[in-house]
A = this chain, B = another copy of it.
Amino acid sequence: MRDVSIIGIGQTPVGEHWDIGLRHLALEAVRAAANDAHIDHADALFVGNMSAAQIGGQTNLGALIADFVGLRGIEAVTVEASSASGGAAVRQAYLAVASGALDFAIVVGVEKLTDVLGSSAVSAQMTATDSDYEASHGVTPLSAAAMLMRRYMYEYDAVPIDFAAFSVNAHANAMNNPNAMYHSKITPEAFVKAAMIAEPINLFDAAPAADGAAAIVLAPTDWAKSRSNGSVRVAASSIATDALAIHDRHDPLWLRAVELSINKAYQQAGVSPRDINLFELHDSCTILAAMSLEAAGFAQRGMGVTFAARGAIKRDGSIPISTMGGLKGRGDPGGATGIYQIVEVVQQLRGCAGENQIAQARIGMAQNLGATGATAVTHILVRD
Chain A residues with CB under 8 Å of chain B are: 1, 21, 23, 44, 50-51, 53-54, 56-60, 62-64, 66-67, 72-82, 84, 88, 91-92, 95-96, 98-101, 123-124, 126-128, 130-132, 135, 238-244, 248, 256-257, 260, 370-371, 374-375
Given A62-B241, A78-B79, A95-B96, 18 other A-B residues pairs in contact with their CB atoms under 8 A: A1-B100, A1-B101, A44-B239, A58-B127, A60-B127, A60-B370, A63-B243, A64-B374, A72-B242, A73-B241, A74-B240, A75-B238, A75-B241, A76-B81, A77-B375, A79-B80, A80-B80, A98-B100
Q: Report yes or no: A370 in contact with B63, Cβ–Cβ below 8 A.
A: yes
- The answer to whether residues A53 and B127 also contact, given A77-B80, A78-B81, A95-B101 and a CB cut-off of 8 A, is yes
Q: Report yes or no: B260 in contact with A59, Cβ–Cβ below 8 A.
A: no
B62, B76, B92: the one within 8 Å of A77 (CB):
B92
**Residues of chain B within 8 A of A132, CB atoms compared:** 21, 23
Q: Report yes or no: B63 in contact with A242, Cβ–Cβ below 8 A.
A: yes
Q: Report yes or no: A239 in contact with B127, Cβ–Cβ below 8 A.
A: no
Kindly provide the distance from the CB of A126 to the nearest chain B CB, expressed in whole angstroms.
7
Kindly provide the distance from the CB of A48 to the nearest chain B CB, expressed in whole angstroms.
10
**In the assembly, what is the distance between CA of A21 and CA of B257, in Å?**
25
Kindly provide the distance from the CB of A291 to the nearest chain B CB, expressed in whole angstroms.
17
Q: Report yes or no: A127 in contact with B244, Cβ–Cβ below 8 A.
A: no
**In the assembly, what is the distance between CA of A66 and CA of B243, in Å?**
8
- The answer to whether residues A73 and B256 also contact, given A95-B101, A374-B63 and a CB cut-off of 8 A, is yes
Residue of B nearest to A260 (CB): B73
Q: Report yes or no: B131 in contact with A57, Cβ–Cβ below 8 A.
A: yes
Q: Report yes or no: A131 in contact with B375, Cβ–Cβ below 8 A.
A: no
Q: Report yes or no: B77 in contact with A239, Cβ–Cβ below 8 A.
A: yes
Q: Report yes or no: A88 in contact with B92, Cβ–Cβ below 8 A.
A: no
Q: Report yes or no: A73 in contact with B238, Cβ–Cβ below 8 A.
A: no
**Residues of chain B within 8 A of A58, CB atoms compared:** 127, 130-131, 135
**Residues of chain B within 8 A of A76, CB atoms compared:** 81, 239, 241, 375
Interface CB pairs A-B, < 8 A, 14: A58-B130, A60-B82, A60-B371, A62-B80, A63-B81, A64-B374, A72-B242, A72-B243, A73-B242, A76-B375, A79-B79, A79-B80, A96-B99, A98-B99
**In the assembly, what is the distance between CA of A96 and CA of B79, in Å?**
14
Q: Report yes or no: A81 in contact with B60, Cβ–Cβ below 8 A.
A: yes
- The answer to whether residues A67 and B128 also contact, given A73-B256, A78-B80, A257-B73 and a CB cut-off of 8 A, is no
**In the assembly, what is the distance between CA of A76 and CA of B66, in Å?**
24
Q: Report yes or no: A73 in contact with B239, Cβ–Cβ below 8 A.
A: no
Residue of B nearest to A135 (CB): B57
**Residues of chain B within 8 A of A56, CB atoms compared:** 131
**Residues of chain B within 8 A of A63, CB atoms compared:** 81, 241-244, 257, 370, 374-375
Q: 8 tightest A-B contacts by CB?
A: A99-B99, A63-B241, A60-B82, A75-B239, A63-B374, A58-B131, A59-B127, A78-B80
**Residues of chain B within 8 A of A54, CB atoms compared:** 53-54
Residue of B nearest to A46 (CB): B92
- The answer to whether residues A241 and B53 also contact, given A63-B81, A64-B130, A79-B78 and a CB cut-off of 8 A, is no
**In the assembly, what is the distance between CA of A51 and CA of B60, in Å?**
11
- The answer to whether residues A241 and B67 also contact, given A59-B80, A76-B375, A77-B79 and a CB cut-off of 8 A, is yes
